[in-house]
Homo-oligomer: A and B are copies of this chain.
Amino acid sequence: MAATMIQKLSGNDENGNQVYIKRDDLLPFSLGGNKVRIAEQFYADMRKKGCDTMIIYGSRHSNLCRVLSDLCCSRGTPCLMICSHEEHEDTSPTGNTHLIEWTNTEILPCAKDEIAQTVDRAMAQVRARGGTPYYIYGDRTGTGNEGVAAEAYAEAYGEIQEFECANGWEFDYIFCPSGTGATQSGLICGHLLAGDRKKIMGLLISSRETSRARQVIRTGVRAYFAAHQAIPPDCLEDEIILLDQYRQAGYGLYDERVETVIREQYRSNGIPLDPIYTGKAFWGMTEYLRTSGIGHSRILFLHTGGTPLFFDYVMSSGAGQQENV
């Protein structure tokens, strides 16, 4: 995979910081985004484990499910999606919903408190057809595959190092949205292996408990190191930095401050950000930089993609929709 570009953003930071963005939204498969790298890791792991049918899990907004559905379709691999929803949740189709329908992926709808049972049902269904199922998150409780997704950004970290090397300086901070924690775990692995002085800053975008989010990242990093016959250094705990004050009312919820940042970035840099992940995280980063006293630093924001969510927002923006997607 060719390295994605890193570009400097226009616009002045009042504290003299220089802000760059890594355009993983431009990865060339299935509308791009961090999930392209992560999907490739899950797919490779499935093959390594001798499985032939992919079972994926996510909501109707899920970028990972879009990319994995498409990847499986392009390679002739059957795919089942456990599609979670909260009771009373809006279930109108999103761009990702439609795109998943274009593939061969079979949908199993599932209430949020019935995931384990639905995983069981999906696994049994695949076996009954003579297939060997692979559930991306491991066993029925979502345990056992913690290190796989971290591989993606442990590897992509090398692209950031190459950029730094070519420029003769290092970033001081990397900011990224933190949802499942897989991207942040991978960046932390890359950082620990490089032994550099950067700080990896995750911006929580959902209402996941902060302690739980820390634990998921810790487990991901440890599993990655274990898979490489190593253990993470003692400083790991200090390297897990989560900003939980910018999640607003929770996953998928945002107010006009996030909307303003989305329009500003489109207007000043022609860059699409969505309100659920990248726009909310970018807003959080901006607020954090403004209030934390960080100055004259080199900042990298990882654009984790989600172009379909950007268009969900664009198409709804005429309706003046706010506070909720």
Contacts and interface: CB of A to CB of B under 8 A. Distances in A.
Interface of A: 2, 5, 7, 10, 23, 26, 28-31, 67, 70-71, 73-74, 93, 95, 98-99, 101-104, 263, 266-272, 307-308, 311, 314-315, 317-318
- Dominant secondary structure at the A interface: helix
A28 B10 contact: no
A67 B272 CA distance: 13
Given A74-B268, A269-B74, A311-B311, A318 B31 contact: no
Nearest to A267: B73
Contacts of A29: 269-270
A70 B265 CA distance: 11
Contact of A28 (B26, B95, B98, B104): B26
A266 B29 CA distance: 9
A237 to B, nearest CB: 37
A76 to B, nearest CB: 10
Contacts of A318: 93, 98, 101
Contact of A95 (B104, B271, B311): B311
Given A67-B270, A70-B266, A308-B314, 16 more contacts: A7-B28, A10-B74, A26-B26, A28-B270, A28-B271, A29-B269, A30-B266, A74-B269, A95-B311, A98-B314, A99-B314, A102-B263, A102-B317, A311-B311, A311-B315, A315-B315
A30 B263 CA distance: 12
A74 B270 contact: yes
Contacts of A307: 307
Which 8 interchain pairs have the tightest Cβ spacing?
A: A30-B270, A29-B270, A311-B311, A73-B267, A98-B314, A26-B26, A70-B270, A102-B263
Contacts of A95: 311, 314-315
A103 B269 CA distance: 12
A267 to B, nearest CB: 5
Nearest to A66: B270
Given A10-B74, A73-B267, A31 B103 contact: no
Contact of A5 (B2, B7, B99, B266): B2
A308 B308 CA distance: 10
The winner among A71, A93, A270 for most chain B CB atoms within 10 A is A270
Contacts of A314: 95, 98-99, 308, 311
A313 to B, nearest CB: 9
